[in-house]
Amino acid sequence: MTYGEYLQLDTILASQKTLSTHHDEMLFIIIHQVNELWMKLILHELTSAIQAIQANNLQSAFKMLARVTKIQSQLIQAWDVLSTLTPAEYLEFRDHLGKSSGFQSYQYRQIEFALGYKTAHILKIYEKDTKLHEQLEKAFHAPSIYDVSIEALSRGGFFINPALLNRDYSITYSGDKSVADAWKTVYQNVNQYWDLYQLAEKLVDIEDWLQQWRFRHMKTVERIIGFKVGTGGSSGVNYLRKVLDHRFFPELWELRTDL
């Protein structure tokens, strides 16, 4: 077996099909394809980390979550490459994209689901693809990494509101005093709850890097198209600014003020 055969390079390198003759469309395609490959690995690691936490194997989960943050740094740096695309250059091939948009990235939506942000209307986008819709619906109803982390708090001896331990995972978590109290105790007694403390900090790392990715996404879009409507009909920069205010793990940020 050769290097190219093992990596199936013939297939990968033949997957950049430009729709225009403009030089910079190749950049646009490759950046987004590379991002999707990194997101595939993020999902691979998050899924395994969720399973490891459920099995009370926190050390394995820490390694996986640490890898996720390293991948996120690669995704953030990708915006630096894409930002070399100027507005004039993008307009040369933008119309060829039709209604396709990064907002339709189903892997990104799966990452949001895995982190606990569930929005039912997202599923409607993929109804025409039965297999993909089933895959997303399964992820939509599955516990997020924060759900299983809250369960880890309960196993660690903390009182957690029973309703949280048997809740509908398709509903975006919005916070609970019992969880806030538990995390605060963890941070006030680091040596006693070292594993849970590490878990909390790994989650904060992931959300921190995700928000930095979102910010760079917003600024890159603003730099290239300003406040134009996105190709898929999204509100573009205005939407990207709005999601910056969303918190995946609210108690872990609020306790910074409470401690």
Please indicate if the annotation marks 31 as binding a ligand: yes
Please indicate if the annotation marks 94 as binding a ligand: yes
Cα distances from 218 to residues 88, 223, 241, in angstroms, run 19, 9, 7
97 contacts 229 by C-beta, under 8 angstroms: no
Please indicate if the annotation marks 29 as binding a ligand: yes
Please indicate if the annotation marks 90 as binding a ligand: yes
Please indicate if the annotation marks 28 as binding a ligand: yes
207 contacts 185 by C-beta, under 8 angstroms: no
Secondary structure of 55-79 as H, E, C letters: CCCHHHHHHHHHHHHHHHHHHHHHH
Please indicate if the annotation marks 217 as binding a ligand: yes
Please indicate if the annotation marks 50 as binding a ligand: no
Please indicate if the annotation marks 44 as binding a ligand: no
* Spatial separation of the C-alpha atoms in residues 214 and 211, rounded to whole Å: 5
237 contacts 227 by C-beta, under 8 angstroms: yes
Please indicate if the annotation marks 23 as binding a ligand: no
* Residue 110 phi, psi (nearest 5): -65, -35
State the binding site for heme.
217
State the binding site.
28-32, 90, 94, 217, 231
State the binding site for substrate.
28-32, 90, 94, 231
